[in-house]
Structure 1
């Protein structure tokens, strides 16, 4: 029974199918996990980043409090109260008895408060560097976990292709044996080679499972989603990563600035702050009330062994921070240049595999198979050539994985807010 749709309904149905076909790649991609998505999600979910952000907020709050004067002190007193005689415990009959209320305020000098504010601001900058460092570390670890799974899956795909060929080789060896053109030894050899590939596939599946668990630490359940294709990794120019912008050096620089601010505080502490007090004393109704004004001045009687020593200690810590900064600059520069040199070396090896080793391995495998089919070669030669081709393919994947890891180490020296693969080669 044929059912005819009206022309308008048919057109709507066709349009719906076309829209679905056009939108399908986007729908399919929405269920995939890209490296950039994994990196962004890891930074959002990380409790380490949340902890560092809280520490940065705490430092900002303390910076506001550092510039304030000390709180005034309220003083209440009962002076010269008789404890014997006819006026004992009376607060009004003896002319010397006074009920006093006063306020004392420490007059912190402006230069000392400015030094404390500077110290607090340097601590804010140091905490902010710590937050950025936490973000960069989480992003780098998430990218490495994503890359580990991606390359493990590529190795699995390569092994599956080799297993398909090995199964065909077993079938061919069995057919030749049944036709008395091959030996039983060749059948066992082909089956053993197939089982060896299956064992390597199981090992690779284990590596994928481990990499997925590690990735789930950063991105949660979406780690089980399929991965998108890997982005292109390009080596940055030598001047694209200024040494002073790396977080390791930024942290050391912030530590030096904090040590300098601390030294300025101890220098200001060598000059004491005065305190002033205003007190109102009330006596009995027959006597006059009194007002007192007091000035307190700390006596730094042993300044050379206390305040001066504290200042000298802070200056020594400043020298230590400067030395660590210089050492960090040298270490970071050496690490970056070593990574760039390793990258260039691996790129040369990758080109060699693409231009020479892989074609030669495939040609050798094809020649061995053709010789075996013509009866002039052995199955052992075919299997050896195929194992060699597989090893060359896996070596190429490992080299590409090394390049990707070097890229991650260089890229996430600083936190990344946007796309992370748009670097240009020198």
Structure 2
């Protein structure tokens, strides 16, 4: 009975110890999903856009309100000559005045100002979606590049292992009299060339992590783990989603804002008005008085005042429409280029997997067999091995390029259109 309890206790302790020891293995790794989450939480550009939305929202609150009223204080008809000069209460016309004035912009102008403010809020929200697209897409591109570098680094361990096997084979051939002593240098030369390639890999790793660090900070130093993303690419459906691209969609509130500004400029041709109420205090022997007055703006010269402003706002709207058309054409070209490039890279990946890599491996095996049998030379073996190394590195390169292209397509026309 006690023995079973002890066994159970030791099992629990062993399990806890294994869990604790496993924790460091989980630390210091970075998946693509985690990188995207960190980027959205930490990107200063998104923080700036959030502040811009808040500013536009706050600015929209007073957009349609009346101007603040004005308090009027003064003295009217103050005598500076005659028997009542310098007296404030002897002349019946002298009055101490306190009043209030309220300006009343016309209703069309106030409505247009509200529309401008609301469109500005929508424009700020659209610009945040553009910024979010840039953050997520750039983070994904940086992570893919960093992950591809790590894949190459793992592959170099295989290269060095195969190089050691080649060195053993060469020594065996020399010992058996089937190779020249000078052949012993060749594996060392190959190892040095591998070291040069790996030095360049160190540079690529530093650049990839620097690009990733821009978006997620120190977490970019963690090792990227997982696999290359496999986003669904709709080669035939993306053209219909082109107008949903955040950069093009942002022109909708921008156009609404420009149109509202035109209506606001046109409203300047309508009269604004104001009212004023005054209380006028006179001397004790005279009665106090009140007065009410109204005033209207008179837009009598629209050709030199309001019409040029309206024309300017129309020109700004035309500019927006032209810029949107230019950007739409640019995105159409980019989409077609990206889709064509994706198809090319897809074929290249399949060709490497199904043909080039197997053939390169077969060539190495055949040349090595010939060398071991004394029918081939070491030069052919080294050349075949170099071709295999290049083919394996190229395979990672084309898979990386395909993943980068699919990321640009997915974030621009797949995720953003959902």
TM-score w.r.t. length of structure 1: 0.91
Question: 1:258 is matched with which residue?
Answer: 257
1: CA distance, partners of 2:140 / 2:414: 12
Q: What do residues 220-271 of structure 1 show as CA deviations (whole Å, max 9, x unaligned)?
A: 2222222221244234223357122211111222222211111111111211
Question: 1:45 is matched with which residue?
Answer: 42
2: CA distance, partners of 1:29 / 1:340: 37
Where do residues 5-404 of structure 1 align in structure 2 (5 Å cutoff)?
6-15=3-12, 17=14, 28-29=25-26, 31-177=28-174, 180-237=177-234, 238-239=236-237, 242-404=241-403
For residue 180 of structure 1, report the CA deviation from its aligned partner.
Answer: 4.3
1: CA distance, partners of 2:75 / 2:3: 105
SS at match of 1:242: helix
Indicate how the Cα distance of structure 1 residues 135 and 302 shifts in structure 2: closer, same or farther if over 3 A, else same.
Answer: same
For residue 217 of structure 1, report the CA deviation from its aligned partner.
Answer: 2.5
SS at match of 2:29: coil
Indicate how the Cα distance of structure 1 residues 410 and 24 shifts in structure 2: closer, same or farther if over 3 A, else same.
Answer: farther
- Count matched residues: 416
2: CA distance, partners of 1:195 / 1:167: 12
2: CA distance, partners of 1:338 / 1:5: 74
| Alpha carbons 1:48, 1:134 under 8 Å: kept | yes
Question: 2:405 is matched with which residue?
Answer: 406
- The CA RMSD measured in Å over matched residues stands at 2.5
- Structure 2 residues not aligned, in runs of 5+: none
For residue 416 of structure 1, report the CA deviation from its aligned partner.
Answer: 5.9
Q: Decide which moves more: 54-63 or 307-316.
A: 307-316
Q: What do residues 401-421 of structure 1 show as CA deviations (whole Å, max 9, x unaligned)?
A: 11111122122227969xx9x
SS at match of 1:376: coil
| Alpha carbons 2:242, 2:413 under 8 Å: kept | no
| Alpha carbons 2:231, 2:410 under 8 Å: kept | no
Indicate how the Cα distance of structure 1 residues 305 and 80 shifts in structure 2: closer, same or farther if over 3 A, else same.
Answer: same
SS at match of 2:191: helix
SS at match of 2:293: strand
SS at match of 1:77: strand
2: CA distance, partners of 1:356 / 1:46: 43
| Alpha carbons 1:347, 1:403 under 8 Å: kept | yes
| Alpha carbons 1:82, 1:90 under 8 Å: kept | yes
2: CA distance, partners of 1:55 / 1:329: 25
SS at match of 1:275: strand
| Alpha carbons 1:235, 1:340 under 8 Å: kept | no
2: CA distance, partners of 1:264 / 1:55: 25
TM-score w.r.t. length of structure 2: 0.92
